[in-house]
């Protein structure tokens, strides 16, 4: 499958996600260009937003969270930038999970990145863009794309938000949309992540690590996913 096989989905067609219709409100929801498994729109999902130059701890935290969620059948949603985005997708696929990639540019610019190519499985991946196929990357499109990541997710995890920028904006978008927002906090966090504290002060839930296992404590995330979807999610205690 390649970009020339990308299909267009209008808001009037079956399979168009209600979350995106709601996101655009009274405006006409844009066409979606997609590659991969469209049924992933129907699954429980958690969005990941974070720095493209995240620290080693940030990368490992994103991968840990993504892996735990994927092992319980939760779809991971993120962008396609280096750092947190790619760590989330790679961890999902390497653990047998599924992932949705939301592009900040047109589908004509999409290529499978070398780091993730050995893990790629079109049955477990959905790549989408609601920008024209030839649209180039722009900062405003990246910001707009973050809104779609939040909209498609039942909960959002933020890793290493700075004092300003796209990750912080995504966090505030989640709060504005009343999406449960979890912000990673750990002792080794470096400076330049002041946005994490900003989001927590505005109502986000701190996401901590277990002292015993060193893994992120996702019980509250799983609780929200279970209640929001009307299904029970089983996970290790």
DSSP designation for 67: H
The answer to whether 114 and 21 are in contact (CB under 8 A) is no
The answer to whether 147 and 23 are in contact (CB under 8 A) is yes
DSSP designation for 209: B
CA neighbor of 64 nearest in space, from 225, 218, 222: 218
- Identify which has the larger pLDDT, 220 or 236: 220
> For 78-89, what is each residue's pLDDT tens digit?
999 999 999 999
Q: SS in 3 state form for 60-97?
A: HHHHHHHHHHHHCCCEEEECCCCCHHHHHHHHHHHCCC
Q: Backbone dihedral region of 126: left (phi > 0), alpha (psi from -120 to 50 degrees) or beta?
A: beta
Q: Rounded distance, CA 74 to CA 225, Å?
A: 9
> For 162-199, what is each residue's pLDDT tens digit?
888 889 999 999 999 999 999 998 765 554 578 888 99
- Is the pLDDT assigned to residue 121 strictly greater than 50? yes
Mean pLDDT of 43-66: 93
Mean pLDDT of 104-132: 96
Q: What is the pLDDT of residue 235?
A: 37
- Identify which has the larger pLDDT, 233 or 193: 193
Q: What is the pLDDT of residue 5?
A: 85
Mean pLDDT of 60-72: 96
Mean pLDDT of 57-63: 93
Q: What is the pLDDT of residue 229?
A: 42
DSSP designation for 18: H
- Is the pLDDT assigned to residue 232 strictly greater than 70? no
Q: Which pair of tokens denotes residue 200? A: 């927590």
CA neighbor of 205 nearest in space, from 187, 217, 192, 188: 217
Strands (E) across 4-107 are located at 7-9, 32-36, 45-50, 75-78, 99-102
**Phi–psi pair at 75, nearest 5 degrees:** -80, 135
DSSP designation for 107: G
Share the mean pLDDT of the chain.
90
Residue ranges of domains in the chain, CATH in brackets: 19-227 (3.40.50.450)
What is the dihedral angle through the alpha carbons of 212, 214, 218, 220, rounded to the nearest 10 degrees? Answer: 40
Q: What is the pLDDT of residue 164?
A: 82
Q: What is the pLDDT of residue 227?
A: 53
- Is the pLDDT assigned to residue 111 strictly greater than 90? yes
Percent of the chain at pLDDT > 70 equals 91
DSSP line for 139-198 = HHHHHHHHHHHHHT-SEEEEES--SSSHHHHHHHHHHHTT--EEEE--TTPPSS-HHHHH
- Is the pLDDT assigned to residue 137 strictly greater than 50? yes
Confidence of residue 12 (pLDDT cuts 50, 70, 90): very high
- Is the pLDDT assigned to residue 204 strictly greater than 70? yes
Confidence of residue 237 (pLDDT cuts 50, 70, 90): very low
- Is the pLDDT assigned to residue 95 strictly greater than 70? yes
Q: What is the pLDDT of residue 188?
A: 56
From residue 211, alpha-carbon distances to 89, 159, 187, 208 in Å are 26, 19, 11, 9
């Amino acid at each position: 499958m390649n970009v020339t096989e990308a299909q267009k989905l209008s808001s009037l067609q079956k399979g168009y996600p209600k979350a995106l219709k709601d996101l655009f409100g009274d405006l006409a929801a844009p066409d979606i260009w997609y590659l991969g498994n469209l049924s992933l729109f129907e699954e429980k999902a958690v969005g990941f937003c974070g720095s493209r130059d995240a620290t080693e701890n940030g990368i490992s935290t994103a991968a840990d969270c993504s892996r735990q969620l994927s092992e319980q059948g939760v779809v991971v949603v993120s962008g396609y930038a280096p750092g947190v985005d790619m760590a989330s997708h790679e961890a999902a696929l390497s653990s047998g999970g599924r992932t949705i990639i939301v592009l900040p540019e047109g589908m004509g610019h999409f290529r499978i990145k070398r780091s993730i190519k050995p893990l790629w499985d079109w049955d477990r991946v959905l790549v989408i863009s609601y920008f024209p196929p030839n649209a180039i990357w722009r900062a405003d499109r990246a910001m707009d794309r973050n809104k779609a990541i939040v909209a498609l997710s039942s909960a959002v995890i933020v890793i290493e938000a700075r004092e300003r920028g796209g990750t912080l904006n995504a966090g505030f978008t989640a709060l504005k949309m009343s999406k449960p927002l979890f912000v990673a906090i750990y002792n080794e966090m470096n400076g330049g992540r002041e946005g994490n504290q900003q989001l927590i002060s505005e109502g986000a839930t701190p996401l901590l690590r277990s002292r015993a296992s060193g893994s992120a404590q996702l019980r509250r995330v799983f609780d929200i996913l279970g209640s929001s979807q009307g299904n029970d999610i089983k996970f290790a205690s």
